[in-house]
Amino acid sequence: MAPAISCEDLSKSFGPLRAVEGVSFSVEPGEIVGFLGPNGAGKTTTIRMLLDLIRPSRGRVEVLGANPRRGGAALRRRIGYVPGDLALYNRLTGRQLLEFVSALRGTHDLTAAEQIAEQLDVSLERPIGTLSRGNRQKIGVVQALAHAPELLVLDEPTSGLDPVAQRTFRSLVRDAAARGTAVLLSSHVLGEVQRVVDRVAILRAGRLVTIEPMRDLEAKALRVVEIRFGGPVPADEFAHLAGVRSIEVEGDLLRASVAGSADALVKAASRFTVDSISGHEADLEDVFLTFYGEPADAPA
């Protein structure tokens, strides 16, 4: 089966600014690929080239087996898209917007849209302009999913969503992938996508840094762990532990940066009285700095 997305040496320049340079990757049917990178990395520019909203300066791209430049309306009916700069018709109700979009796609059945809206807990009867940012985002997600597209392209789709809606969104995306939909999910937040994606493509300064299974990236990603002991502990008891990149002990508080398994650190801590353990992931930029060298210079 042909990839849902296939691009090779995809590049885009705006005058002297090289926004995207030599990007090559694919997304298979039924696969969820996270498209990650800090703001300004080139994610949205790449997505717009995939959808023929802008034209590449160089490279080849196919979407659902067709050149997006020549695929026209027939190709776009097979795609669901949530743009990063979502703009909706504020005077229309959610239902009126979905009726309009459905008519453009050649369908008129809103049953699936109503079911998704119910799952996301968003009203379709209120004018969109009266909705909160999060509820407007939900309407954007509904219109992208309602026609069971073969490809979902999602650019920062959970922006403004509360944790409950984010969990529902992830479930909807998993269900779509299980039916064979290919998903490209763009974000600058690693934690947002790691629960749902199969592979991760990381973009930095317009270049593809890596594309690999999510489990492989998780094995590299740093976690910051803090352990509070019942009393002061000796720092040398925690030196040279497997997976620990850096460690700092101040009296009864230990702070460590851990890559991969924290097993060695936990076992060393168990020799003392532990009052509490907490941890959080390093942000995506920290992952770049740790595993992929210093940041690339900004394009001229």
Q: Where in the chain is the domain with CATH 3.30.70?
A: 222-281
Helix (H, G, I), strand (E, B) or coil at 212: strand
**In this structure, which amino acid lies at residue 220?**
K
Query: What is the CATH number that goes with domain 222-281?
Result: 3.30.70
CB atoms within 10 A of CB 32: 25
Give the pairing of strands 5-14 and 17-27.
Answer: antiparallel
Confidence of residue 219 (pLDDT cuts 50, 70, 90): low
What pLDDT is recorded for position 184? 98
Q: How confident is the model at residue 217 (pLDDT cuts 50, 70, 90)?
A: confident
pLDDT at 114: 97
Share of the chain above pLDDT 90, in %: 75
For residue 280, the model assigns a pLDDT of 77
* Mean of pLDDT over the chain: 90
Q: What is the location of CATH 3.40.50.300 in the chain?
A: 5-218
Residues 69-87 pLDDT 10s: 999 999 999 999 999 999 9
Q: What is the pLDDT of residues 230-243, one digit of tens each?
A: 999 999 999 889 98
What's the pTM value of the predicted model, to 2 decimals?
0.80
Strand partners, 228: 253, 276
Enter the tokens of residue 195.
């629960």
Output the CA torsion sign for 80, 84, 89, 95: positive
Query: Residue 93 has what DSSP assignment?
Result: B
5-218 is a CATH 3.40.50.300 domain: yes
Sequence-separated (6 or more) residues with CB below 8 Å from residue 245: 222, 256, 257, 258, 259, 290
Instruction: Give the separation between CA 145 and CA 81, rounded to whole angstroms.
Output: 8
pLDDT at 298 over 50: no
Q: How confident is the model at residue 226 (pLDDT cuts 50, 70, 90)?
A: very high
- Cα gap 12→15, rounded to integer Å: 9
pLDDT class of 279 with cuts at 50, 70, 90: confident
- Rounded-to-integer distance, Cα 274 and Cα 265, Å: 12
User: Would you state the pLDDT for residue 187?
Assistant: 85
Under 8 Å CB-to-CB from 145, ≥6 apart: which residues?
Answer: 80, 112, 116, 152, 172, 176
| Mean pLDDT to the nearest integer, 13-27 | 96
The pLDDT assigned to 287 comes to 60
- Does the pLDDT value for residue 283 go beyond 80? no
Mean pLDDT of 154-164: 93
Q: How confident is the model at residue 194 (pLDDT cuts 50, 70, 90)?
A: confident
